[in-house]
Structure 1
Amino acid sequence: MTSSLEAAWAQQSVWSQTADKLKKRLQIGRRAALGLAIGGALLSATAATVGLGSALGKTFAFSGAVFVGLAGLAGNAAGPRTMRDWTRARSVSEALKSVVYTSLAGYPPADLDAVVQDIDADAADLQQYRAGVEPKQRPLPSVHDLESFMENRVLAQITGYYRKNARKLVHTLERFRLLSMGLAFLGLVLGVAAGTWEVDRLAGWVPVVTTIGTAVATHVAAERYSYMLVEYSRTADELQRIHDRRGRIASMTDEELVKHAENVISIQNEGWMAKLSEADESTP
């Protein structure tokens, strides 16, 4: 039993690192697309400001066009396929983790090895991303009964993952909100100044600011920060009820508590990953 659990834990490490690698690729692509789109808009506007007939203006215009083209390529690299592969790798990692924790708590599946093999086989087409990834050397989680499961699985998920990430998302959303407000205010000031003093060069920067604001809004929408914040907060609250054994949960047996906690985590993971993949595939 122990050797099977250690093998499953090693597999979970490999899939977790694989998912992290794919997520990093996705984030780099999206951030690059955002930066290049902003850079392209700024360079194009600068070209118009210095004059398209000049050598400098032509250089800026050409550079702006290159940036816009590269933004499209970066966006494609962070497209639906990368999103889908990342969410599937993460799903495998979380499924293996759930099997390990449930087993350590005292409720293993009838055939642990077969379950692990089935989970791994479901993502056979993702094996290419696992090349060169070695499992991290780490002991099995310190879980051996219900109480240790509650502390080292449920409470750790509440404080170390869901609430922690929810706080980060609050700060991230606030930064983007302030940035969007700043861009809107800048666009307003430029528009008023251009209209008041009839400065054509200022007027040319208004659509640039609007384009940057749109690029930022698109980035925020692609990352689904608001959706993730709601899901993390909701799951943390549900796990807290399980940890505190409140309401109907108080009448559950130890086995029901363990499996219910894993089910809550699983449903949350599957739900947000399906939502992200679906939304990403519908993005033009």
Structure 2
Amino acid sequence: MANFDASAAVTMVWQRQGVWSQAAEAEKRRVVRARRTVAGLTIGAAVAGSLATQLGDPHRTVSRCLAILAAAALLLVPVAARWTSRDSVHAWTRLRSVSEALKADVHCYLAGAAPFGGADRDQVLLRRADTLLDDAGDLIGRTVGVAPVDRPLPDIRDVPSYLAGRVRRQVAGYYAPMAQRTARLAARVRYAATAVTVASALLAATVGVLGDGLGLTAWLGVAATVTTALVGYAAAQQYEHQQIEYARTGDQLTRLCLTRESGHGWTDDDAFVAEAERIISLSNEGWMAKMIEEDGAAQQ
């Protein structure tokens, strides 16, 4: 292995981390966009099909157009669903896993923590990066064409700056905002599904009292389809699980920092850095495993 100096070695690994992070984000966008498309097409097909039935012969041309639109939407659902397959989700989570592992090694290296405390720290860093990238070699095609981002290394020089620049920053800049964001998204989907359910109940009550002279019965099926699509999308996105995971991880890291800063524990530098990275890694592995598990269950 070439004898890189510290700056060249860590800069190279940091650039590779940026490439894999971008590839993971691109794969995530494709999966999420496909999930939204599947939900939208399902709802659109139900609405268009019901309208086509309602309009009938008095508006034959419009009715036929809506029927064709509904059929086209249903035909496109399996096409869009290909991007939500287990393989796509697995690729996204593995890309993210490699990115996060490289990021952890860079931060530990800059802090001078184990296993990067010796004179061979450059070789150790590059060797670990080589192992990670070789193990994920089947995904390398997804990084082709992704240009490295010109960004500075994290401002970390020792363990105290690691605490501020890695752990505290991760809590304040990522876990806390993401916990709030996923909680809002979960609430929006939950409120939308509840609103549709209430509307469906009102429709059923209206039909029960006034009869079906207005043709409202057909819309009960539409409401059920919309509710199912919304709940299915929320389940796939794992908003509620992610909100709990983000909040829990942020709390664990905060308590870890407070314990060290108060002098009541975690005073050993290597042990502190290792514990912080363990908590972050478990959080990443937890949501990735849950995402794959739920995606597989949904496709059975």
TM-score bucket (shorter structure): over 0.9
Aligned length: 284
User: Where do residues 146-165 of structure 1 align in structure 2 (5 Å cutoff)?
Assistant: 146-165=159-178
In structure 2, what is the Cα distance between the partners aligned to 1:52 and 1:63? 17
How far has the Cα of 1:76 moved from its partner?
2.2
Asked if 1:225 is matched to 2:230, the reply is no
TM-score (norm 2): 0.91
What amino acid is the match of 2:252? E
How far has the Cα of 1:52 moved from its partner?
6.4
Distance change (3 Å), C-alpha of 1:280 and 1:165: same
**Cα deviations by residue, 1:58-83 (Å, 9 ceiling, x for unpaired):** 22122111112212221222111110
Among 36, 40, 47, the alignment partner of 1:31 is 36
Among 162, 181, 187, the alignment partner of 2:200 is 187
Report if aligned partners of 1:87, 1:273 keep a CA contact under 8 Å in 2.
Answer: yes
Report if aligned partners of 1:238, 1:264 keep a CA contact under 8 Å in 2.
Answer: yes
Aligned partner of residue 133 in structure 2, secondary structure: helix
User: Where do residues 97-108 of structure 1 align in structure 2 (5 Å cutoff)?
Assistant: 97-107=103-113, 108=115
Q: Which residue of 1 aligns with 2:281?
A: 266
What amino acid is the match of 2:172? T
How far has the Cα of 1:190 moved from its partner?
1.1
- Identify unmatched segments of 5+ residues in structure 1: none
How far has the Cα of 1:251 moved from its partner?
4.2
Aligned partner of residue 265 in structure 2, secondary structure: helix
Distance change (3 Å), C-alpha of 1:219 and 1:251: closer
How far has the Cα of 1:117 moved from its partner?
0.5
Asked if 1:71 is matched to 2:77, the reply is yes
Q: Which residue of 2 aligns with 1:276?
A: 291
Asked if 1:125 is matched to 2:138, the reply is yes
In structure 2, what is the Cα distance between the partners aligned to 1:279 and 1:9? 32
Among 4, 17, 41, the alignment partner of 2:9 is 4
Question: Which has the higher mean CA deviation after the structures are superposed, 65-74 or 205-214?
Answer: 65-74
Distance change (3 Å), C-alpha of 1:60 and 1:251: closer
What amino acid is the match of 2:40? G
**Cα deviations by residue, 1:6-47 (Å, 9 ceiling, x for unpaired):** 000000000000000000000110011111111000000001
What amino acid is the match of 1:204? A
Distance change (3 Å), C-alpha of 1:239 and 1:252: same
Report if aligned partners of 2:107, 2:162 keep a CA contact under 8 Å in 1.
Answer: yes
Report if aligned partners of 2:207, 2:217 keep a CA contact under 8 Å in 1.
Answer: yes
How far has the Cα of 1:98 moved from its partner?
0.3
What amino acid is the match of 2:9? S
Q: Which residue of 2 aligns with 1:86?
A: 92
What amino acid is the match of 1:259? A
Question: Which has the higher mean CA deviation after the structures are superposed, 66-75 or 47-56?
Answer: 47-56
How far has the Cα of 1:248 moved from its partner?
9.9
Report if aligned partners of 2:266, 2:272 keep a CA contact under 8 Å in 1.
Answer: no
Report if aligned partners of 2:236, 2:295 keep a CA contact under 8 Å in 1.
Answer: yes
Report if aligned partners of 1:239, 1:264 keep a CA contact under 8 Å in 2.
Answer: yes
Q: Which residue of 1 aligns with 2:50?
A: 45
In structure 2, what is the Cα distance between the partners aligned to 1:61 and 1:153? 55
What amino acid is the match of 1:232? Y
Question: Which has the higher mean CA deviation after the structures are superposed, 24-33 or 268-277?
Answer: 268-277
TM-score (norm 1): 0.96
User: Where do residues 188-207 of structure 1 align in structure 2 (5 Å cutoff)?
Assistant: 188-200=201-213, 201-207=215-221
What amino acid is the match of 1:130? T
Q: Which residue of 1 aligns with 2:3?
A: none
In structure 1, what is the Cα distance between the partners aligned to 2:186 and 2:25? 22
What amino acid is the match of 2:45? G
Report if aligned partners of 1:154, 1:261 keep a CA contact under 8 Å in 2.
Answer: yes
Aligned partner of residue 216 in structure 2, secondary structure: helix
Among 218, 239, 253, the alignment partner of 2:253 is 239
Question: Which has the higher mean CA deviation after the structures are superposed, 41-50 or 249-258?
Answer: 249-258
